[in-house]
Amino acid sequence: MCGIFGYVTSDEENLGPILIEAAKRLTYRGYDSVGAATLNNGKVDLRKDVGKVEDVSAKYNFAEMRGSRGITQLRWATFGEPSQINAQPHIDSDGDLVGAHNGNVVNNVELRQQFIDEGMTVRSQNDGETCVHGVERYLNRGYEFIDAIRLAYGDLQGDYAFVIGRANDDKLYAFKKGSGMVVGIGDGFTCVSSDLPSILPLTRKIVRPQDGEIVTLWSDRVEVRSVKDGRVIERKPEFVTESMDAVQKGGYPHFMLKEIHEQPQVARELLHLLDGSPEVENLVEKMKKARHLYFVACGTSYHAALIGSVYFAQIAGRPAIPVLAPQFIAQYAPAVGYEDVGVFVSQSGETKDVLNALEAAEKRGMASYGLANVIGSTLTKATSFCLPLCCGYEISVPATKTFTNQVITFLYLAYRMAGRDTRELEKIPELMEATMDATSSQVESIAKDINQWNDMYCLGYGATFPIALEGALKLKEITYAHCEGMLSTEFKHGPLSAVSKGFPIIFVAGPNDVPLIISGVNEVKVRGARTIVIAEDDPRLRANADDVIALPKSDANISPLLGVLPLQMLSYHMSVMRGFDPDFPRNLSKTLTVD
């Protein structure tokens, strides 16, 4: 996830301080590099590098930058490692255009090669530069700027927002497809950004462009046009009253709740990226030929690896061994070799236990690949290649959107291993939205009912067993209650003795596991337990359980993924009800870099 900001005024001004402050207000989104460009009198002044806003702006003296238009960008790497050349903004072949984007252009590799073949000067691997050349291509063919943007929009696949300007012009242009963008109108200036925080200190008069719309920004007005036919769209400005803190959290009281609700969008972006990634086929072929296949991770990432192993067996007929990273060293590393493949999973890409396991595997010659959210992290550099999770910055310590995107990646890879049509997975984001809409109020009510309990169980079977483990972990992390995740069929082998009147037991059931879950429900219900089932609606479950949190109809592969959403919400509500901050639970860190 990146942050962009553009500013237009009528006369040459000292824009550096404005761009620096706007960039600082977007740092909460997470980034690895920063850049700024000003345009004036036919010239583009571009300065950028890897590092923090304060350091890069001081090193390159952003404060002295002048112009009538300016662009700044904070980059979170997806295409191209963090480097000065990959940092944004980018210029076109002649240095006449400059632009920056937020999001992912998933056909970046193919378009870059086309631009090279057409004789353009392509300097980086970054898809932000691809957006610039996308417009340049049609300007070179004689099209007017708006029409060049309309045609480039059709070429650029994925979810993104983009701002671009030309040296000999008095305007900036911006357009969006799937990623956030907001326009501000002030006294003698206009501005555009990927998010409200960079705009609010300047003006609270805003316009919200929609997907498939182009905004032209002059110093005193803005114009919105349709990408489809170029017609002008009338859009009245609105006035924003929220505080800066509320806006950074998207209007939510906590980052965790915001990130729970971001899951459908980041899932959508991930699926687009996986469809366009040439590395996916390479990894699938390596896994097909592997003697043994290992998924190595810790904590939440291990739960994703565990469900990934279920997917690989059930969908692709291929066994995969999920293993906690420290145990991999003792149990498997001495026996692995060149014929084996390992997928090492880490949200941060810096998890020490995972890196230790990776080192042990590589000493034995095992082919090693990564799955991480932070491109440029140690894991992404140490593996043969690493698939990005495309979640942007996850501020809340409890992982939510990184977990669901890890699960989706494993599901996608299992489909590719089996030769199944991955278009079947395109319904996942919509199903996630439907799940949250349908279950939120019921989950909050149940949270009130069981909040007094400091011990509970979360049970699952098959593909829902890892979901039960993840739900239990979330409850432990942020409510400080003890919730144990277990295989439902194991509960009778000892833990059944803990059940007393009202004792909460949560079951997560797949569509094919209803008879088995009914047996487990009654096993604890007759001993006084409060039984809560998360599953697709089924009259048999309603006849047996105290509560059924009904998921939308999907299929046996997607339903477990949907089941984690009510568990995330349950954990969140119970944490808040207990007076805890779910974003920053005690004793925990987002990135564990110790043994």
Which among 2, 298, 386, 458 is annotated as catalytic? 2
CA triple 294-297-302, angle to 5 deg: 100
User: Which residues pair with residue 99 across a beta bridge?
Assistant: 90, 164
Beta strands at 367-372 and 341-346: parallel, antiparallel or unpaired: parallel
Count Cα neighbours of 334 within 13 Å in the Cβ-side half-sphere.
3
Do the Cβ atoms of 178 and 153 come closer than 8 Å? no
Burial 152-190 (b: 16+ CB within 10 A, else e): bbebbbbbbbbbbbbbeeebbbbbbbbbbbbbbbbeebb
Of 400, 181, 371, nearest in space to 274 by CA: 371
CA-based R_g, the chain, Å: 25
Do the Cβ atoms of 323 and 332 come closer than 8 Å? yes
Q: Is 390 annotated in the active site?
A: no
Q: Using CA atoms in the order 137, 139, 141, 147, what is the torsion angle rounded to 10 degrees?
A: 100
Which among 52, 286, 476, 590 is annotated as catalytic? 590
Q: Is 2 annotated in the active site?
A: yes
CA triple 53-54-58, angle to 5 deg: 110
d(Cα 529, Cα 105) in Å, to the nearest integer? 50
User: Torsions phi, psi of 173, nearest 5?
Assistant: -125, 145
Q: Which two tokens stand for residue 363?
A: 């000493």
Q: Using CA atoms in the order 404, 405, 407, 411, what is the torsion angle rounded to 10 degrees?
A: 130
How many Å from the N-terminal Cα to the C-terminal Cα in the chain?
A: 29
Of 310, 273, 340, nearest in space to 414 by CA: 310
- Tell me if the bond preceding 89 is cis, omega within 30° of 0: yes
CA triple 54-57-62, angle to 5 deg: 145
DSSP state letters, 373-399: SSTTSHHHHHSS-EEE-------SSS-
Q: Which two tokens stand for residue 335?
A: 């026996």
User: Residues near 36 by Cβ (< 8 Å), separated by ≥ 6?
Assistant: 16, 19, 20, 23, 46, 47, 48, 57, 62, 65, 70, 71, 72, 73, 89
Which residue numbers are catalytic?
2, 590
